[in-house]
């Protein structure tokens, strides 16, 4: 057994939320840089350049890339040989969010009761998913999820006979309906299979996988590539003002499902795709 003090988790999470909000992750930055010259709309090219300028300024001044500094979503893998000390892990993650958002001058966007809508004033609670795994480490992968793009996400319980083509149609339809609203160029996370909730969870997890890093299975890579190409033919372009850079990347995750079903969830992220991973 290895002992980990949850106090370490607080500090690490606080650092992570500040870092991802100030510094656009390298994978996203490089992808924006690479896609600029390929954009055929002049307005589109201009917008892509402005986004890089914005990222540079935010990084240099250590201010948020975007004022919607998001709701924190964390995927946490806990090794079965870890012994936690000093309190509950969930409390520590939320304490890290609280500390990071306060210290970092990040916007607190979380409301408690969703119908009464009173701000919790510290951006907690985070959405946390746990997995028990082998080993004696804790891996924390988290994102700061903006809601302009979250609001444009959709789910559908397809029929098994709808198959791959049905999935492609639904993803493209979702991006098309979203149009300019989720701040394109977007990153698209697609969850296929499982149950309604599992598909949503893996779609979210897909958004945390870095741009440029495909799925491990060849057939899924082909689907990711076909989706990206199809989405970039929709004409939406940067900020929805026309062009061929509608999506920066598409990540697909799959899970076994029931003989009667084919759940699909499309989770959209804006170009400020803020994500990071740490191992303790």
Partner 1 sequence: MSEIKRINLPLTDEVVRSLKAGDNVLLSGELYTGRDAAHKRLIEAIDANQALPLPIEHQTIYYVGPAPAKPGEVIGSAGPTTSYRMDDLTLPLLERGLKGMIGKGERAEKVIEGMKKYGAVYFAAIGGAGALIASTIIKKEVIAYEDLGAEAIHRLVVKDFPAIVVIDSEGNNLYRTEREKYKGE
Interface pattern 63-102 for partner 1 (x via CB under 8 A): xxxxxxx---------------------------------
State the nearest-atom distance from the C-beta of 62 to partner 1, in Å.
8
User: Is residue 54 at the binding interface for partner 1, with CB under 8 A as the rule?
Assistant: yes
Cα dihedral: 219, 225, 227, 232 (round 10): -170
User: Smallest distance, Å, CB 24 to partner 1?
Assistant: 10
From candidates 15, 19, 29, 46, binder to partner 1 by CB under 8 A: 46
Longest dimension (CA), the chain: 58
25 near partner 1, judged by CB under 8 A: no
Task: Tell whether residue 107 is a contact of partner 1 (CB under 8 A).
Answer: yes
3-state secondary structure of 160: helix
Alpha-helical segments (H) within the chain: 6-22, 26-35, 42-61, 89-103, 147-150, 163-178, 196-208, 218-231
Q: What is the DSSP letter of 210?
A: P
Instruction: Give one DSSP letter per residue of 29-46, joined into a string.
Output: HHHHHHHGGG---HHHHH
Instruction: Give the contact letters, 130-159, x = binds to partner 1 (CB under 8 A), - = no.
Output: ------------------x--x--------
Only segment of 127-135, 187-195, 208-216, 241-249 that touches partner 1 (CB under 8 A): 241-249
Regarding 103 and contact with partner 1 (CB under 8 A), the answer is: no
Q: Decide whether 65 or 78 has the Cβ nearer to partner 1.
A: 65
Query: Do 280 and 143 meet the contact criterion of CB atoms below 8 Å apart?
Result: no
Q: What CA–CA distance (Å, rounded) separates 40 from 180? A: 17
Q: Report the alpha-carbon distance of residue 46 to residue 238 in Å, rounded.
A: 9
- The site for partner 1 (CB under 8 A) is made up of 40-43, 46-47, 50-51, 53-54, 57-58, 61-69, 105-109, 117, 119, 121, 148, 151, 179-181, 183, 233-237, 239-244, 270-272
């Amino acid at each position: 057994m290895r002992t980990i003090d949850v106090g370490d988790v607080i500090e690490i999470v606080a650092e992570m939320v500040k870092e991802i909000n100030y510094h656009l992750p390298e994978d996203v930055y490089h992808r924006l840089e690479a896609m600029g010259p390929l954009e055929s709309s002049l307005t589109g090219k201009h917008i892509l350049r402005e986004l890089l300028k914005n990222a540079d300024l935010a990084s240099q001044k250590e201010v948020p890339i975007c004022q919607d500094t998001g709701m924190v979503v964390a995927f946490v893998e806990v090794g079965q040989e870890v012994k936690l000390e000093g309190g509950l892990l969930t409390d520590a993650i939320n304490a890290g969010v609280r500390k990071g958002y306060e210290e970092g001058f990040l916007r607190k966007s979380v409301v408690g009761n969703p119908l009464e809508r009173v701000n919790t004033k510290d951006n907690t609670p985070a959405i946390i998913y746990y997995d028990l795994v082998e080993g004696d480490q804790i891996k924390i992968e988290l994102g700061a999820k903006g809601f302009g793009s979250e609001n444009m996400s959709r789910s559908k319980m397809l029929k098994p006979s709808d198959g791959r083509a049905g999935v492609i149609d639904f993803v493209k339809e979702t991006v098309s309906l979203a149009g300019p609203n989720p701040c394109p160029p977007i990153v698209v996370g697609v969850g296929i299979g499982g149950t309604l909730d599992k598909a949503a969870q893996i779609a979210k997890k897909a958004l945390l996988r870095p741009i440029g890093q495909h799925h491990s299975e060849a057939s899924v890579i082909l689907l990711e590539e076909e989706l990206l190409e199809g989405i970039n033919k929709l004409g939406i372009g940067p900020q929805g003002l026309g062009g061929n850079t509608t999506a920066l990347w598409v990540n697909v995750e799959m899970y076994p499902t029931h003989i009667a079903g084919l759940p699909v969830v499309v989770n959209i992220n804006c170009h400020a795709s803020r994500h990071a991973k740490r191992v303790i």
